[in-house]
Amino acid sequence: MFYRESGDFKTTYAKDTQTFPIKLDRMGYYTILAIAFVVIPTMLVMNVGGGANYWTNAILLPFLIWAIASIGLNILVGYCGQLSLGSGGFMAVGAYASYKLMTSFPDLSIFIIVLLSGAITAGVGILFGLPSLRIKGFYLAVATLAAQFFLVWMFNKVQWFYNYSASGQISAPTRSVFGFEVTGATASAEAKYLFCLVLLVGVAWVARNLTRGRIGRSWMAIRDMDIAAEIIGVAPLKTKLSAFGISSFFIGIAGALFFAVYLGAAEVGEAFGIQKSFLLLFMVIIGGLGSIFGSIIGAAFMVLMPVLLKNIMVGQLNWATDIAAHFEFVFVGALIIIFLILEPHGLAQLWRLLKEKLRLWPFPH
Amino acid sequence: MNATAESYVTEDGRTIGAPVMEMKNITLKFGGVTAISNISFDIREGEIRAIIGPNGAGKSSMLNVINGFYHPQEGEIWFHGEKRKPMKPYQIAQQGIARTFQNIALFKGMSTLDNIMTGRFTHMKTNMLMQAIWKGPAEREENLNRDIVEHVIDFLEIQAIRKTPVGRLPYGLQKRVELGRALAAQPKLLLLDEPMAGMNVEEKEDMSRFILDVNDEFGTTIALIEHDMGVVMDISDRVVVLDYGKKIGDGTPDEVRNNQDVIDAYLGVAHD
């Protein structure tokens, strides 16, 4: 009823191409921002329900960080069509870069450290993107798989990366933004949450801007028909490498946050193994390839689903935890398969269809 | 018509200028197969130049040579009075050569508008940082180019399908969008590879009208490959005829029509 475009005439090209062309969408977007920036932090500070740390560590932080990584991978796979299984390795690059930067430059703001870690990861991503000019599809996936194993091996083998510590682990020292600690053991839940949220909003905004204009169209052109893209003047290698660079930049930021803010201490094989690459790819596919919103919703799905299943099986049905853990794999796996059969274009496409229907509701056509 | 003249005026009042592109003794081989052997011809500024010939004559190979997909073993290509060095296809696009494909090569996941906007790629210059910020130079540039694209959309009468994903469009419209994408680049030379293949009579008439209008209004030089002889003879200023990789005729439609070699190639001739 209220979800209408009719009567809402766009008189400039800028208005015609805005991110949320329908008024109700815009209002919804501002509402979500208000909840994310004001309501949730207030609840965390007041510790409503008594589980501020649990909510932050089990749901909020993983969701925000995986959403950043998911947007990154979606640019590469969904927008530019280059299949990558090296994301776990690239997250490790971001994590170790932030660790080295934090320990080498103790006075540097954590905000700048996270961005620099992203930039370093972008460089590594571009390097491993070089084969993409020659190989495509599954073969490129295998080449990026090499990056995954090589990077994990390198961070285990070269002791300089973990400052020669005996355990082989890296652990984040305490660093703060505007006087609020966001890393280390004493950092408060709301500070960590807000720090990651600001970065997610920033990443989503930049990703949307990049994908709506000249560069985004060149990525999609390479994805859809590389020969035709070339005939229009799109340089294939430069375009693919720019996608690898931007994608790795975001994934590197996510890796740095995952280690410094979320885990606090990490061992590369365990924290950034191949299963993380697959998890991220599932998020992108389930959320919807070629959609920023899809990346975020895909991350939410993959983070929330296991928590929800665990709460139902252990909390409500009183199953043993180990059985519940195994059933969790079965359920999530089955859900992914069912999903891909019913809606191969992901949750974003479902949302799009729902909006199509809403615009016409209560009429069928 | 005097072949050596710098420029001349056609019967319908269009001015045809000096050659913009000259192919000199082009030979293209794939292993032992000679696809094009020792072919020379030119394309003059402002004309509609048709390349015809039976299947396998080397027409599409010729376009691919002009585009830079194939690099000929022998011969020279002169563009705007300069000998062209071996280039990548995207560099040739930056010089102002656009084309459409025999089999539609649109970006299936994008809307009509985005497809045509992609055609503006070489004209858009803002760097990645400006794109990321969007507000300011990137948005201004986007809107300026959108204006040009909207003119193309008006010209091709496809306003109604502006936001439709091209995968959902019928074949004839897809061909039109592909022409729009090439036009949006405002090319100096437009190559059309069978723009009317698989179309019905009305669609062919529309497409012929668009090709003539493009040439007339924007003065775009057009080289086209087409199998429909009626259309070719009707709209082109000069025709070059290929057969088995060799040039067997070159001239006005009337000259070509009466050329004995061309008649033999198309109708077949008894070998004894």
Residues A90 and A155 both lie in one domain: yes
Verify whether the Cβ–Cβ distance B131 to A227 is below 8 Å: no
Tokens of B203: 């669609």
Percent of chain A with pLDDT over 90: 62
Separation in Å, CA of A95 to nearest CA in chain B: 24
Question: What residues of chain B have any CB closer than 8 angstroms to a CB in chain A?
Answer: 67, 69, 88-90, 93-94, 98-99, 101, 105-110, 114, 117-122, 124, 126, 128, 131-134, 138-139, 141-143, 146-147, 181, 185
pLDDT in tens, A225-249: 999 999 999 999 999 999 999 999 9
The Cα angle at residue B60 between residues B57 and B63, in degrees rounded to 5: 125
Residues A124 and A220 both lie in one domain: yes
Residue A274 predicted with pLDDT over 90: yes
Verify whether the Cβ–Cβ distance B121 to A210 is below 8 Å: no
Verify whether the Cβ–Cβ distance A231 to B146 is below 8 Å: no
| Residues in Cβ contact with A271 at an 8 Å cutoff, skipping those fewer than 6 apart | A92, A95, A258, A259, A263
Q: Given pLDDT bands bounded at 50, 70 and 90, which one contains residue B5?
A: low
Of B121, B126, B146, Cβ closest to residue A234: B121
**pLDDT at position B272:** 62
Give A327-335's long-range contacts (Cβ < 8 A, gap of 24+). Answer: A331/A305, A332/A302, A332/A305, A332/A306, A335/A305
The Cα angle at residue A218 between residues A212 and A222, in degrees rounded to 5: 130
Of B17, B7, B29, nearest to B220 by C-alpha is B17
**Residue range B46-56: mean pLDDT, rounded:** 92
Residue A1 predicted with pLDDT over 70: no
In a domain, residue A353? The reply is no
Percent of chain A with pLDDT over 70: 99
Number of Cβ within 10 Å of residue B138's Cβ equals 24
Domain coordinates in residue numbering, chain B: 1-96+187-272, 98-186
Verify whether the Cβ–Cβ distance A231 to B98 is below 8 Å: yes
The Cα angle at residue A138 between residues A135 and A142, in degrees rounded to 5: 80
In a domain, residue A268? The reply is yes
Verify whether the Cβ–Cβ distance A232 to B117 is below 8 Å: no
Eight-state DSSP code of residue B222: E
Rounded to an integer, what distance in angstroms lies between the CA atom of residue A212 and that of residue A222?
15
Residues A105 and A180 both lie in one domain: yes
* B107 vs A contacts (CB less than 8 Å): 220-221, 223-225, 228-229
Cα distances from B229 to residues A59, B176, B237, in angstroms, run 68, 21, 13
Name which residue leads in pLDDT, A346 or A280.
A280
Verify whether the Cβ–Cβ distance A233 to B122 is below 8 Å: yes
**pLDDT at position A161:** 94
**pLDDT at position A6:** 73
Residues A130 and A241 both lie in one domain: yes
Q: Given pLDDT bands bounded at 50, 70 and 90, which one contains residue B92?
A: very high
Of B168, B101, B29, nearest to A230 by C-alpha is B101
Query: Burial, B11: exposed, middle or buried (Cβ in 10 Å; 0-12, 13-18, 19+)?
Result: exposed
Domains in chain A: how many in total? 2
In a domain, residue A217? The reply is yes
Verify whether the Cβ–Cβ distance A235 to B106 is below 8 Å: no
Of B180, B88, B225, nearest to A227 by C-alpha is B88
Residues A27 and A154 both lie in one domain: no
Strands A180-181 and A176-177: antiparallel
**Residue range A185-190: mean pLDDT, rounded:** 87
**pLDDT at position A55:** 84
Residues A43 and A81 both lie in one domain: no
Residues A57 and A41 both lie in one domain: no
Q: Which of A80, A205, A226, A231 to mutate to test the interface with B (most CBs of B within 10 A)?
A: A231
**pLDDT at position B271:** 64
Rounded to an integer, what distance in angstroms lies between the CA atom of residue B82 and that of residue A187?
67
**pLDDT at position B75:** 94
Verify whether the Cβ–Cβ distance A218 to B121 is below 8 Å: yes
Tokens of B11: 């019967």
Q: Which of B116, B121, B174 to mutate to test the interface with A (most CBs of A within 10 A)?
A: B121
B98-186 has the same fold as B1-96+187-272: yes
Verify whether the Cβ–Cβ distance A218 to B119 is below 8 Å: no
ipTM of the complex: 0.91
In a domain, residue A309? The reply is no
Residue A7 predicted with pLDDT over 90: no
Separation in Å, CA of B144 to nearest CA in chain A: 9
Number of Cβ within 10 Å of residue A345's Cβ equals 17
Q: Given pLDDT bands bounded at 50, 70 and 90, which one contains residue B2?
A: very low
pLDDT in tens, B143-183: 999 999 999 999 999 999 999 999 999 999 999 999 999 99
What secondary structure does DSSP assign to B49-109, as a single string?
EEEE-STTSSHHHHHHHHHTSS--SEEEEEETTEEPPP--HHHHHHTTEEEE-SS----TT
pLDDT in tens, B216-231: 998 999 999 999 889 9
**Are A318 and A324 spatial neighbours (Cβ–Cβ below 8 Å)?**
no
Residues A100 and A216 both lie in one domain: yes
Domain residues for the domain of A30 are: 21-50
Verify whether the Cβ–Cβ distance A209 to B94 is below 8 Å: no
Verify whether the Cβ–Cβ distance B128 to A290 is below 8 Å: no
Verify whether the Cβ–Cβ distance B109 to A224 is below 8 Å: yes
Of B67, B88, B132, Cβ closest to residue A209: B132
In a domain, residue A321? The reply is no
pLDDT in tens, A278-329: 999 999 999 999 999 999 999 999 999 888 888 888 888 888 888 888 888 8
Q: Which of B67, B107, B108, B175 to mutate to test the interface with A (most CBs of A within 10 A)?
A: B107
Residues A60 and A160 both lie in one domain: yes
Question: What residues of chain A have any CB closer than 8 angstroms to a CB in chain B?
Answer: 12-14, 17, 206, 209-210, 212-215, 217-218, 220-221, 223-225, 227-236, 242, 246, 290
Of A17, A225, A233, Cβ closest to residue B107: A225
> What's domain B1-96+187-272's architecture?
3-Layer(aba) Sandwich (3.40)
pLDDT in tens, A199-208: 999 999 999 9
**Residue range A327-342: mean pLDDT, rounded:** 84
Separation in Å, CA of B3 to nearest CA in chain A: 31
**Residue range A76-102: mean pLDDT, rounded:** 96
* B89 vs A contacts (CB less than 8 Å): 230-231
* B164 vs A contacts (CB less than 8 Å): none
Of A210, A232, A236, Cβ closest to residue B131: A210
Verify whether the Cβ–Cβ distance B107 to A228 is below 8 Å: yes
* A226 vs B contacts (CB less than 8 Å): none
Q: Which of B90, B99, B175 to mutate to test the interface with A (most CBs of A within 10 A)?
A: B90
Residue A166 predicted with pLDDT over 70: yes
In a domain, residue A288? The reply is no
In a domain, residue A172? The reply is yes
Fold of the CATH domain B98-186: Rossmann fold (3.40.50)
Verify whether the Cβ–Cβ distance A224 to B101 is below 8 Å: no
pLDDT in tens, A25-58: 889 999 999 999 999 999 988 887 777 888 888 8
**Residue range B193-199: mean pLDDT, rounded:** 91
Domain final residue pick, A212, A239, A273: A273
**Residue range B95-117: mean pLDDT, rounded:** 94
* B122 vs A contacts (CB less than 8 Å): 232-233
In a domain, residue A176? The reply is yes
Rounded to an integer, what distance in angstroms lies between the CA atom of residue B269 and that of residue B170?
40
**pLDDT at position B4:** 55
Of A213, A215, A235, Cβ closest to residue B90: A235
Average pLDDT, chain A: 91
Cis peptide, bond prior to residue B54, ω within 30 of zero: no
Residue A92 predicted with pLDDT over 90: yes
**Residue range A105-131: mean pLDDT, rounded:** 95
Separation in Å, CA of A57 to nearest CA in chain B: 31
